Structure 1
Amino acid sequence: MKASFLTLLLPEDRALSDPLPVTSASIERAGEAPLAESAARCATRGKTMHEVLILLGDGDRRSIGNVDAVIAAVEHDPSCFDVLFHSLFSDDPLIRMRSADAIEKISRKHPDWLQPYKRQLLTQVAQSEQQEVRWHVAQLFPRLAADQHERTAMVRVLLDYLNDPSQIVKVCALQALADLSAHDPVLRRQTITILEQVTEIGSPAVKSRGRKLLQQLTTQSPHR
């Protein structure tokens, strides 16, 4: 399925000129220094964002931990969003998961806060192998202002996510493809083809979302 989707949506003239061979290990290494630096900057403003981030490691993956406290801290001082973003590079999967959750929730109200981190989202964070990070990345993509090259990179990532073992990742990837296609008539037609396939061969959750999105895309006119 992966190869056929990539061929369908990424013809040669739209393919990426720079592939993104970034591993989860390199993501973690890349984030250590920026996290320390941004935490220090936050502390100089009298904030305790670093302490709040430590709280994200409490509990287990079945709970959201102290995500609400982190969201409140960042909204109180938006400069601390940098600390939150770089916590995606933590070596603790629990912190990565909850940070991704907090970023997704904050970006619903403040999508513009993501823009300075667009390149890192596309070339580093999106390559994470952690399912919770992946499904939040899929939710973030449609909120980014992107040029054609960047949108092609997003599509490539989302196509890869369609092969993820997690059904949530697959559902979020389908939703993101549908959202992105609202501004791209060519992608819209190609996404419809993908949705027609997954409604036949996907899991119950994927089939259900696929049918809903298929109906949406086939009854609405694309935005120009």
Structure 2
Amino acid sequence: MGDFETLLTGGHPNSLGNTIAVVETVLQQPERFEELFHCYFSDDEVVRLRVSNAMKRICKERCDLLVPYIGRFLDEITQIDQASTQWTLAQLFLVLEQHMNGQQLRKAKELLTHNLSHHNDWIVLNTTMETLTHWSKTDKRLKHWLVPHLERLSEDTRKSVSARATKMLVKLASILCIFKEIIPLYDF
């Protein structure tokens, strides 16, 4: 298979193009993961969109290929101002959480809380709400930060955003009720 950036170029912007073929190549030749990762720095936003799609597919099959790149995702890829990259990071960080050290997880939370506060793309908001809600189950400070943002987003004019925010609020509320029954003296 040829140069990944060339393979990921062209066609309709919303199509996968040759993404599946690139994923299959990386899964068969893991040493080419770096080449795919480097395509995040393409000038072509369609290439970057397809790289994000490929990363999610590879993560489902071989999460271990992404683990050595967690630091680079946090330091380099987070700087890409493209919605598809940001929503992919929210999804990848959720899967990669168990492989992150404390500093990496803090940095991922900082990025996602920033995105939830400042981003307007509905997919970025929805994926970020999912990940932050999951993390807030074990992070009291994050939970306290998240609830007012979910309340704000529950009033968003976009139905998918408001519905997701409401669903996340219900999820957090049910978790609080369960914990209060188990540990009634704990300060929630």
TM category (shorter chain) comes to 0.7 to 0.9
Alignment-derived partner of residue 89 in structure 2:
137
How many residue pairs get aligned? The number is 174
Please tell me whether residue 65 in structure 1 is matched to residue 17 in structure 2: yes
Comparing both chains, which one has the higher relative contact order based on Cα–Cα distances under 8 Å and sequence gaps of 6 or more?
1
Please tell me whether residue 161 in structure 1 is matched to residue 132 in structure 2: no
Alignment-derived partner of residue 182 in structure 2:
none
Answer yes or no: is the 8 Å Cα contact 1:142–1:176 preserved in 2.
yes
| Bigger shift: residues 210-219 or 81-90 | 210-219
Answer yes or no: is the 8 Å Cα contact 2:27–2:62 preserved in 1.
no
CA–CA distance in 1 between the matches of 2:129 and 2:21?
A: 30
CA–CA distance in 2 between the matches of 1:66 and 1:130?
A: 20
Answer yes or no: is the 8 Å Cα contact 1:49–1:73 preserved in 2.
no
Equivalence map 1:104-143=2 (5 Å): 104-143=56-95
Alignment-derived partner of residue 184 in structure 1:
139
The 3 A distance-change label for structure 1 pair 49 and 137 is farther
Answer yes or no: is the 8 Å Cα contact 1:158–1:177 preserved in 2.
yes
2:51 to 99, 118, 127: 99
Alignment-derived partner of residue 197 in structure 1:
152
The unaligned stretches of length 5 or more in structure 2 are 180-188
3-state SS of paired residue (2:129) = helix
Alignment-derived partner of residue 184 in structure 2:
none
CA–CA distance in 1 between the matches of 2:138 and 2:119?
A: 26
* TM-score for the superposition, normalised by structure 2: 0.82
2:101 to 147, 157, 160: 147
Aligned letter for 1:136? T
1:170 to 111, 125, 136: 125
Deviations 1:19-40 (A, max 9, x none): xxxxxxxxxxxxxxxxxxxxxx
Answer yes or no: is the 8 Å Cα contact 1:49–1:80 preserved in 2.
no
* TM-score for the superposition, normalised by structure 1: 0.70
Alignment RMSD: 2.0
Answer yes or no: is the 8 Å Cα contact 2:40–2:77 preserved in 1.
yes
Deviations 1:66-97 (A, max 9, x none): 11111111111122212111111112211111
Deviations 1:34-59 (A, max 9, x none): xxxxxxxxxxxxxx352x44121021
CA–CA distance in 2 between the matches of 1:83 and 1:199?
A: 40
CA–CA distance in 2 between the matches of 1:214 and 1:112?
A: 32
Task: Give the deviation of 1:202 after TM superposition.
Answer: 5.7
Answer yes or no: is the 8 Å Cα contact 1:56–1:98 preserved in 2.
yes
CA–CA distance in 1 between the matches of 2:137 and 2:67?
A: 20
